[in-house]
Amino acid sequence: MPRSLVKKMEEVTEYTKNNTGMKLNVAFNYGGRAELVDAVRDIAKNVLSGRIKPHAINERVIRSHLYAPDVAEYDLLIRTAGEQRISNFLLWEIAYTELYFTPVLWPDFRKEHLLEAINEYNKRTRKFGGLAE
């Protein structure tokens, strides 16, 4: 991992060490497709061993086999560097996540950029797959 990225993460960790209301997850060398393949393989093993019945497989069962099953669903995903794609990131977990795209590169992302993203998020109406009222 580049030293500048490590330094940035250390700064973020220090700055947020006493926070209790919001969580920041950063994934390095992670792939959403690999996570789903691993979950399906684990579920298949459980079906073959009789621990899970095929008809009992539902969203809760799938989620329980993901890498971080206890992490709350994400409210906001910030995509830096001007990229407007998910890039194999949290494919299952971000089904109802609001996406925010910024041209700012991650190493240059500062408090004001985060506040801008949060302000934009606060203007949105969350529908969670439902119809707008």
10 in Cβ contact with 37 (< 8 Å)? no
Say how many domains are in the chain: 1
pTM surpassing 0.85? no
Between CA 49 and CA 76 the distance in angstroms is 38
Q: What are the pLDDT tens digits along the chain (133 aa)?
A: 567 767 877 887 788 888 877 776 776 778 999 999 999 999 999 999 999 999 999 999 999 999 999 888 889 999 999 999 988 989 999 999 999 999 999 889 999 999 999 999 999 988 877 765 5
65 in Cβ contact with 92 (< 8 Å)? no
Q: Which domain holds residue 45?
A: 3-19+31-122
Q: Is 26 inside any structural domain?
A: no
Q: Is 68 inside any structural domain?
A: yes
Q: Is 82 inside any structural domain?
A: yes
Nearest 10 degrees: Cα torsion 104, 109, 111, 117: 40
Read off the CATH number of the domain in which 62 is found.
Answer: 3.40.1180.10
